[in-house]
Amino acid sequence: MRLIYPGPAGDGEPDLARLYACPDRGSADRPWVRANMIESADGAATVDGLSGGLGGPADREVFGVLRALAGVILVGAGTARAEGYRPARVAARWTALRVGRTATPPIAVLSGRLDLDPAGPLVAGAPAWARTIVITAESAPADRRAELARHADVIIAGEQGVSAAAAVSALAGRGYREILAEGGPHLLGQLSAAGLLDELCVTISPVLAGGPAGRIIQGALAASGGAAPGGPVPDGPVPAGPSRLTLAHVLADGDYLLCRYLRAGS
């Protein structure tokens, strides 16, 4: 892996912890929200319904360091089920990034219907220091909430539904300052629509996927008209259309390109 932008390409291994460090937000009133996704060269988010068919060693390395840097990992329930999510693990080479925090970040799952397996590894297998967080609505079945609450921390963040903006607000209330969003595309679409997506890390895979696969972000950028009811007020103008990004760096590994973009003004 080598850094090709900015500056001349280097032959040594790049310092990933430095390149992906979250900025110091000081007294900012909400967390830094970054997304990490992968897409094919023709823009597909998955191959045969899963993102794993697009990845490579460098993508997995960046995936690992971003998780080590995260305070909490936010994911939609559909993605958690499709990708077989389990509690996060941090490789030994990245443990120094967790100093002063729990050994691993918790997974926070956004779910309106609570169609999660309460006995599955994501919920029942999470360690005590990083219990899985389930963010749902008051309208979710009470029996499912009680069952999941045996092993997970269940947060009510809405009445009839729960938005990504409300999820960010709930996690901020728990003191999380760095949120890593791993999908799915509709979750990222909501975050972008609310002006809450500060950073996008995207790997471009040397694959032509074709077919009906969706994109890494779906949903109209202005669909929410700003923060969802009950959610936080974005710290800055809500995008009324496409959001402008600034390229922070590009890494290359073989035929893979790993890009980090920042939202303009972040």
Domain boundaries defined on the chain: 29-222
Which pLDDT tens digit goes with each residue over 215-251?
Answer: 999 875 433 333 333 333 333 334 446 778 999 999 9
Degrees to nearest 5, angle at CA 253 with 250 and 258:
35
Say whether pTM exceeds 0.85: yes
Q: What is the 3-state secondary structure (H, E, C) of 211-228?
A: CCCCCCCCCCCCCCCCCC
Whether 10 has a pLDDT exceeding 70, the answer reads: no
Query: Which of the listed CATH numbers 3.40.430.10, 2.30.110.10, 3.30.420.280, 3.50.50.60 matches domain 29-222?
Result: 3.40.430.10
> Average pLDDT in the 193-218 region?
92
pLDDT at 224: 38
H/E stretch holding 247: strand 245-253
> Which pLDDT belongs to residue 27?
65
In whole numbers, what is the pLDDT of the chain averaged over residues?
Answer: 88
